[in-house]
Amino acid sequence: MKLQRISFLAALVATLVLTGCGSSGIGDILGGGTGTSTNDPYGQSVNNVRGTIERVNTTERYIVVDPEEVTSNLRNGNDDEIVLYYDDRTTVEHQGKTYKPADLEAGDRILADVNQSGSRLLAEEIQVLYDVTSNSSDDRYDNDDQYSDTRTTELRGTVRYVDTRDQTLELEPSTGRTGVVVVHYDSSTTVEFEGRQYKPENLERGDRVEIEVRELNGRMIAQEILVVGEAQTR
């Protein structure tokens, strides 16, 4: 997601009131969803959908999403894709900051509130769960049981290199894999050694670790890192 913070004008709020419409367009949203719905003040059904953006069309103002779950009544694209439309009233938020739908991009993982109008799905609100550009996630949602991604695996091996600029670790696995494995980390990644908490930047070449990772868009992202053997005295 291109990080260009914006503020919405009061005129947009006035437009929302005058039109009496409870639906908004959603940008770069994932479509697929749990199928959970509630009623909004305008009597329309609001669905929560979640997935990863495949592409954004800023000319036609829609996003194509690869959903994590598919609900038949929400499907409006080809195969497993879902198309979500957005407009000027669609809000996009990541880590407490507000953005435009056009700032979304392929690889962003989102959770959106959408209304169905005929064959179109219109987004009202979009929460960015993972921003592919900054490699950052929103802990408020990733740590919630309702939205947490359960596709996690465990890696064991020895740290070969820590790139603090790109926030990655090069790991030489001890079991299950061959060759060097690149693991990404972010501000929510925890590191523990002998009962104490550290940052991923504190890791050193030669440290032996056990890492709980989740796979997203071909990337392995570290959630928890346990140091089982240090390279040298810290």
Task: Give me the tens of pLDDT residue by residue for the chain, a chain 234 residues long.
Answer: 665 544 444 444 444 444 444 433 333 333 333 344 444 443 345 577 788 998 999 999 999 998 886 554 565 555 578 899 999 999 999 888 899 999 999 888 998 888 887 778 999 999 998 888 877 776 555 544 444 444 568 889 999 999 998 889 999 988 766 788 899 998 888 899 988 999 999 999 999 999 988 877 677 889 899 999 887 654
Bridge pairing between strands 120-131 and 109-117: antiparallel
Predicted pLDDT of residue 93: 92
Predicted pLDDT of residue 32: 36
Predicted pLDDT of residue 25: 36
| Distances in whole angstroms, Cα of residue 155 to Cα of each of 35, 46, 102, 193, 195 | 33, 39, 36, 16, 20
Predicted pLDDT of residue 24: 37
Predicted pLDDT of residue 198: 93
The answer to whether the CB of 89 falls within 8 A of the CB of 106 is no
Predicted pLDDT of residue 217: 66
Q: Distance between CA atoms of 63 and 105, rounded to whole angstroms? A: 9
Enumerate residues 6+ apart whose C-beta is below 8 A from 32: 49, 50, 51, 65, 66, 67, 68, 69, 70, 71, 74, 80, 82
Predicted pLDDT of residue 81: 83
Bridge pairing between strands 91-94 and 97-99: antiparallel
Predicted pLDDT of residue 73: 56
Q: Tokens representing 108?
A: 């962003």
* Model confidence, pTM: 0.45
Q: What are the structural domains, with CATH classification, of the chain? A: 10-142 (2.40.50.320), 152-229 (2.40.50.320)
Predicted pLDDT of residue 176: 62
Predicted pLDDT of residue 3: 52
The answer to whether the CB of 101 falls within 8 A of the CB of 64 is no
